[in-house]
Structure 1
Amino acid sequence: MSNDQLAGPAIAGPAGLSRPEPSTWGARNAHDPTAVRDSDGVYWLFSTDADADGPLRASGAQIRRSADLVSWEFVGCALDGVPGPARDWASAEGLWAPDVVPVETAAGTEWRMYYSASSFGSRTSAIGLAVAPHPSGPWEDRGIVVATEHDRDGHNAIDAQLVVDGDRHHMVYGSFFGGLHILEIDPATGFALTAPAPGEPAADLGTLIARRPKSVDTAIEGPYIVPRPGGGWALIVSYDSLVNTYHVRVAVSDDLYGPYVDPAGREMTDLDADPLEVGLAVLASHRLEGAERGILAPGHASVLTEETHQVLIHHTRFAETPTQHEVQARRLVWTHEGWPLVSVQPWAGAHEDDDESTWPADLAALRGKWEIVDWSLPTEAVQESRRITVMDDALEGLVAHGRGRFTREGDAPVDAVVFPAWDSVRQQATLCFVARGPKGTALAGTKVG
């Protein structure tokens, strides 16, 4: 569907208020996003069919494009509505959480989009596959890859991601209800290896890798798995309520199929451990000094991997306008000990420095005043940042490994990365840090003096 079909004049919304045209959305209304880059260097963003100002005007997975991951142009939908098989199975009005990845085939590069069709509160859901020669389309539906039924299955077929491990492909998926699962995909067809035939749903619904107990409404979703430097895998997930307590946590595993564990060794499938502590929180609601908006309920993250860097792509709401949401991007870095952590500053395009050889290698760079956010604090509030002053006594025992990596062992262990960044509030170049602190929790900060 073209942008012209979606734009047109503004139309009346709730209480007769005018609804902005999709052509004016930019980053707004991008929910559950994933980004890819084509051979010409253009970024393409795919997201859930959503309009915070009123009912859907069109469905089929929203598409945006950008030159820098900062400014986004809405260009329409990938598909003309919900494809027939998925619509018939799930009675969905729109598509959720599309995941897009290029796959090399005998005929050349094929872009595959795994989309979700469902409705809130239901486990009758379907993950479908559409393909295209380019992210801009044209997209053609191929059928259902995984399907679940509310009264039959304990988990939910939504929020898919294709994980490519050499010549083998896998799909991680799932959400509230029965947790997150992973199964193997046939690289040639894009469908499950256990599918009776291409275009038919998987016979095996996969291996459980993460879940949460009923005491917290089984609130886990949006899985995304990335390889760790040096081997193994990291699982990125979203916890809690979409509207106010949503936040991002990570866990790691030596094997793609788990078990995934947090820094304390707790498994992501453990229902007996404290559900508020399992997993390492790396991004949550917060407000920076002088910022116009407080970040509320950031989550449903994917990762864009480039040659020189990785970027976490996620949606967020705002403390001042909690019903509104937009896409944001942030640098993702790996600590010396192999944990993925996320910058507190949004991605700044041309201001970013990707040459890790120039990142701080001297403890002197850590001295000074920092504005920090501690992700271990409760997520039900928009956390106000605070200032600290780092002096020589705080640096005692730290070891510099180069490329911005610093560690400390002993009673107060630290595993940190310090890197150049752009201060989005003060509009100036500075340093940021991310760290796993002494309590096994994560912190992030911006140098302010």
Structure 2
Amino acid sequence: MKKHILVVTALLSVIGIIGCSSKQNNENILAKINFPENPKIEELRDSSIVLDKSNWGTLGAHDPSIYKDKDTYYVFSTDARVGGPATPGIQVRKSKDLINWEFIGQALKGIPEEAKKWSNAQGIWAPEVTKVGDQYYLYYCTSSFGKNRSYIGLFKSKSIEGPWEDQGLVLKTNQGEDRNALDPNIVYDKDGQMWMSYGSFWSGIYVVKLDKNTGKPLNLNDKGKNISKRDAAVSGAVEGPYIIYNEEQKKYYLFVSYGSLSSDYNVRVGRADNIEGPYLDSNGNDMTDISNSKPDEIGNKILGGYKFGDSEGWMAPGHNSILNDNGNYYIVHHVRTEKNKDWFYLNVRKILWSEDGWPIVSPERYTGEKEQAIEKNALIGNWQVILQDKNNNKIIPSEQYEFASNGKIKNEKQSGKWELDGDNNIYIELTNSNGEKIEYSGKVIPSWDWENKKQTIVFTAIDSNGISLWGKLMR
């Protein structure tokens, strides 16, 4: 009997040693990762700060447009407000780190007289800032909600914080026309020429060449070329264009928001060899194609409503701008809370790039994370995974999957496999409900888990049909 007890005791000791050794190895692997620090920001529907502009931070930023001036990031945004009527004049925030934001006031004293007279607007929407020579150009638009009697105007200043001098009309549209002069975005082509994309609903998005000196179209009667539109079956719901040129990829990327800003906004992307298009998605669909019987199939979906685990979800992310900060890319957008859509916030997320040159977005808000080498064993465990279904643009909840050390993936419904290659390239294969094997490729990065308030690892990936897959490791 004593002999059996000794054997069992010895086995338990060995198991204990193995368990401690495994835990120690895991801790050693994680210790090599440079995780972002706790941002120490509590912001979800805090009613105590609604009337205190000095504490707004990211609260109340709608249609944000970002610009980096020297070592400071500025966000200009629509006249919108949580918990009361907005004061017209364009909200302005600034930050040193893209994490902590300070509300610094409004760019203008109200709606410019000419713009208000034309559009009968109650506020200023979707501003955009750029710099030409030693002058800052501030674009804005005004309209009446649901109508296309709209006006895009321009101000100039020697300082990004003003004062601003009115330059008048850039472009306007009237009821009865097939386009809408909203949501200006300034983009420079690979030769440094200046362009403006704009548009909302109706016949969609346009791009027009500008005169750098005036900041206005070279031909004042030229309203540009149509580069994105949607079918009447979905109310023509496309707006908020933003174009960038990626020098490494040698491509122009058009980001647009599909859907309704208060319920199912989601961000889609197409790319082109020329600034005037055609902009195509991963399937070769033209972003102007309205012949497709499934309009939600057009465009790579990189960002939509989501919910991790039992935490509150986020809905209708969209109307983004893009920052290229010395080769590091970020998407800046607004988003609404699941339990009350009237509360909206500014989000900044890191953009990574798939191996075939498509932007993919981090599942978590930016807190200073950087791409780095990750060991395979760091990814073993349970993951919360979200498939950004193109045909479901409401809040999509996560599902739990186990990533095993042998490269297998499984959950209650399906199985698959995963592989880590190089520093942080991840390849995932999942079997869909039709038995088809779908392959995703993407990136793994350390991150801050906003829902659980701790450090974690996330992945963002995309398949050949332009559908994004997100994952967060439950540490």
User: If the TM-score is normalised by the length of the shorter chain, which range does it land in?
Assistant: 0.7 to 0.9
Deviation string 1:202-229 (CA, Å, 9 cap, x unpaired) is x111000000011001100001111233
Q: Indicate yes or no: 2:120 matched with 1:91.
A: yes
CA–CA separation in structure 2 for the residues paired with 1:74 and 1:100: 17
Give the structure 1 partner of residue 298 of structure 2: 278
1:167–1:187 CA contact under 8 A, matched in 2: no
Q: Indicate yes or no: 2:211 matched with 1:186.
A: yes
1:240 offset after TM fit, Å? 0.6
Q: Indicate yes or no: 2:149 matched with 1:124.
A: yes
Q: Which is higher, the Rg of structure 1 or of structure 2? A: 2
1:421–1:432 CA contact under 8 A, matched in 2: yes
CA–CA separation in structure 1 for the residues paired with 2:279 and 2:348: 25
Give the structure 1 partner of residue 57 of structure 2: 26
> Larger relative contact order (C-alpha < 8 A, sep ≥ 6)?
2
CA–CA separation in structure 1 for the residues paired with 2:59 and 2:259: 22
CA–CA separation in structure 1 for the residues paired with 2:230 and 2:377: 42
2:390–2:467 CA contact under 8 A, matched in 1: no
Q: Indicate yes or no: 2:75 matched with 1:45.
A: yes
TM-score, normalization by structure 1: 0.86
Give the structure 2 partner of residue 158 of structure 1: 182
CA–CA separation in structure 2 for the residues paired with 1:294 and 1:406: 26
Give the structure 2 partner of residue 5 of structure 1: none
Match of 2:216, SS? coil
Which residue identity is paired with 1:158?
L
The 5 Å alignment of 1:294-333 reads 294-333=313-352
Deviation string 1:361-387 (CA, Å, 9 cap, x unpaired) is x65555432211111164453222121
1:102 offset after TM fit, Å? 2.1
Bigger drift between 91-100 and 60-69 goes to 60-69
CA–CA separation in structure 1 for the residues paired with 2:327 and 2:474: 26
Match of 2:264, SS? coil
1:408 offset after TM fit, Å? 8.0
Give the structure 2 partner of residue 359 of structure 1: 373
Give the structure 1 partner of residue 279 of structure 2: 260
Deviation string 1:258-311 (CA, Å, 9 cap, x unpaired) is 1111111111111111111111111111112353x3201111011122125211
Bigger drift between 425-434 and 308-317 goes to 425-434
Distance change (3 Å), C-alpha of 1:383 and 1:399: closer
Distance change (3 Å), C-alpha of 1:307 and 1:45: same
CA–CA separation in structure 2 for the residues paired with 1:397 and 1:344: 18
The 5 Å alignment of 1:334-349 reads 334-349=353-368
Give the structure 2 partner of residue 36 of structure 1: 67
Q: Indicate yes or no: 2:239 matched with 1:221.
A: yes
Q: Indicate yes or no: 2:172 matched with 1:147.
A: yes
Within the candidate set 199, 223, 239, 1:174 is matched to 199
Distance change (3 Å), C-alpha of 1:260 and 1:438: closer
- Unmatched tracts of structure 2, length 5 or more: 1-47, 410-415, 430-435
CA–CA separation in structure 2 for the residues paired with 1:287 and 1:28: 20
Q: Indicate yes or no: 2:235 matched with 1:205.
A: no
Which residue identity is paired with 1:55?
P
Give the structure 1 partner of residue 4 of structure 2: none
Give the structure 2 partner of residue 11 of structure 1: none
Aligned-pair identity (%) = 35
Q: Indicate yes or no: 2:421 matched with 1:421.
A: no
Q: Please, what is the CA RMSD of the aligned residues?
A: 2.4
CA–CA separation in structure 1 for the residues paired with 2:386 and 2:408: 21
1:406 offset after TM fit, Å? 4.3
Which residue identity is paired with 2:82?
A
Bigger drift between 209-218 and 64-73 goes to 64-73
Bigger drift between 203-212 and 307-316 goes to 307-316
1:290–1:425 CA contact under 8 A, matched in 2: no
- Unmatched tracts of structure 1, length 5 or more: 1-16, 196-202
Deviation string 1:108-163 (CA, Å, 9 cap, x unpaired) is x2221111111111111111111222221112121111111112x20100001000
CA–CA separation in structure 2 for the residues paired with 1:377 and 1:157: 28
1:54 offset after TM fit, Å? 2.6
Which residue identity is paired with 1:266?
N
CA–CA separation in structure 2 for the residues paired with 1:94 and 1:397: 50
1:396 offset after TM fit, Å? 6.3
Match of 1:85, SS? helix
TM-score, normalization by structure 2: 0.81
